[in-house]
Amino acid sequence: MKWHNLFHPSLFPLQRKVFFLLFFGVIAVSLLFPLSAAAGAKYKIETKYTSFIFNSREDMLRFNDEIDFGGGGLSSLFGSRSKNVTSEFANKVDLLFEKAQAILDMRKKMRKVRVRVYSNQSELEEAYWKIFKGRCNVRGWYVYEFNTVFLNVKDVHEGMLAHELGHAIIDHYLTVRPPRATAEILAKYVDLHLHEEVKRYD
Residues 159-196 pLDDT 10s: 999 999 999 999 999 999 999 999 999 999 999 999 99
Amino acid at 130: K
Tell me the pTM: 0.77
Q: Percent of the chain, pLDDT > 70?
A: 73
Assess contact for 30 and 22: CB atoms under 8 A: no
Q: What is the mean pLDDT of residues 59-73?
A: 86
Backbone angles phi, psi at 152, to 5 degrees: -115, 125
Indicate the pLDDT class of residue 25, thresholds 50, 70 and 90. Answer: low
Task: Work out the average pLDDT over 20-48.
Answer: 60
Q: Which tens digits make up the pLDDT trace of 67-107?
A: 999 854 444 444 445 459 999 999 999 999 999 999 999 99
Closest CA to 34 of 147, 125, 130, 111: 130
CA 38 to chain centre: 23
Residues of the chain above pLDDT 90, percent: 70
Return the pLDDT at 70. Answer: 81
Question: Looking at residue 75, what is its pLDDT?
Answer: 42
Q: Please report which confidence band the pLDDT of residue 37 belongs to, taking 50, 70 and 90 as the band edges.
A: very low
pLDDT of 150 strictly over 90 = yes
Residue 36 has pLDDT above 50, yes or no: no
Measured from the Cβ of residue 152, the count of other Cβ atoms closer than 10 Å reads: 22
Q: Which residue has the higher pLDDT, 136 or 21?
A: 136
Of 94 and 24, more confident: 94
